[in-house]
């Protein structure tokens, strides 16, 4: 059997890391990115357009900022639909609106192309190690056909349901992440201002009912000035929370807990942290709480 040809569109922060994992496995990747330097930086073979990627690939992976960009890449004059042919599989690894995902999939099916929506979790650190978690919606047989490709950068691949289920699950997960990060940031600023030892406070939380992903994986680094540069920016986190609120509105579910992260990441953007990693939300809260920092001296990824 001929080995599958792999294409990747969007070789930025996360896409570049996933592409690097595929390349390290000894596979070739035909890549396209609006910033051509991203293609060379990771070592993929450059394609002149997104259409050229799907023309030369059996499996095409997308890692793009939002549904608007995904739709432009899919429906554009030189986009994926214009050049797709029966038997291909497109996997959207972006954080997209499920309603948009369903519209796109319907168009691909007309051409005999399978379209999977695959939310990702784990951040830059897991992407570097090839240990991401994927939550995939669409046709299960299509997922089974590309598990080998996804396995180059993901250790956990879950089938979560029909088209849109992957991106829906991703929005739910990202909202919990946003709540944990913004709430823990507020609490840690309070702990600092109260004169508590932050390492001890985190140890208490991680042995108690306040434990969460941020207390375990983020703040032990942040209190030492390491913001874990490379993950979602405050702008992208705000985008994900807004998509979550839109989703709940469509579902008719009350979103009672969204004001906290909306206010926190909105504050971070307003205070100049828009393009900084979302962990700097703690600095934004510190700014309006008397100039509080959890660490001393210069930082990586944050502001001193």
* Structural tokens at position 297: 């001296």
CA distance linking residue 189 with residue 155, whole number of Å: 35
Strand partners, 59: 6, 89
Identify whether the C-beta of residue 78 lies closer than 8 Å to the C-beta of residue 51.
yes
Residue 278: phi and psi, rounded to 5, are: -60, -20
Strands (E) in 16-111, as ranges, are: 29-32, 45-46, 59-62, 89-92
Which of 27, 111, 170, 192 is an active site residue? 170
Q: Is 170 a catalytic residue?
A: yes
The Cα-based distances of 133 to 154, 209, 241, 275 in angstroms read: 6, 25, 20, 24
Cβ–Cβ contacts within 10 Å for residue 179, how many?
18
Taking CA atoms, 206 is separated from 124, 212, 239, in Å, by: 23, 7, 29
How far is the C-alpha of 244 from the C-alpha of 170, rounded, in Å?
Answer: 9
Q: Which residues are catalytic?
A: 170
């Amino acid at each position: 059997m001929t080995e599958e040809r792999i294409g990747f569109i969007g070789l930025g922060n996360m896409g570049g890391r996933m592409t690097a994992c595929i390349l390290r496995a000894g596979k070739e990747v035909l890549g396209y990115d609006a910033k051509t330097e991203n293609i060379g930086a990771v070592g993929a073979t450059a394609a002149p357009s997104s259409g050229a990627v799907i023309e030369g690939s059996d499996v095409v992976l997308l890692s793009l900022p939002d549904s608007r960009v995904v739709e432009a890449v899919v429906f554009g004059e030189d986009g994926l639909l214009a050049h797709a042919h029966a038997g291909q599989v497109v996997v959207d690894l972006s954080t997209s609106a499920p309603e948009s995902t369903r519209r796109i999939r319907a168009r691909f099916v007309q051409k005999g192309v399978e379209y999977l929506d695959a939310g990702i979790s784990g951040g830059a650190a897991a992407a570097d190690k090839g240990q991401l978690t994927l939550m995939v919606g669409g046709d299960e047989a299509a997922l089974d056909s590309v598990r080998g490709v996804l396995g180059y950068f993901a250790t956990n691949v879950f089938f979560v349901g029909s088209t849109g289920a992957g991106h829906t699950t991703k929005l739910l997960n990202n909202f919990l992440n946003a709540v944990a990060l913004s709430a823990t940031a507020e609490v840690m600023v309070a702990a600092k201002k109260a004169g508590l030892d932050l390492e001890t406070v985190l140890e208490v939380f991680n042995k108690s009912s306040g434990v969460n992903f941020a207390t375990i994986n983020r703040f032990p680094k942040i209190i030492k000035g390491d913001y874990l540069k490379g993950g979602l920016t405050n702008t992208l986190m705000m985008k994900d929370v807004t998509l979550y609120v839109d989703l709940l509105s469509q579902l008719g579910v009350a979103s009672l807990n969204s004001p906290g992260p909306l206010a926190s990441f909105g504050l971070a953007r307003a205070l100049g942290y828009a393009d900084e990693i979302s962990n700097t939300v703690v600095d934004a809260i510190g700014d309006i709480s008397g100039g509080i920092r959890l660490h001393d001296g210069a930082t990586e990824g944050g502001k001193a």
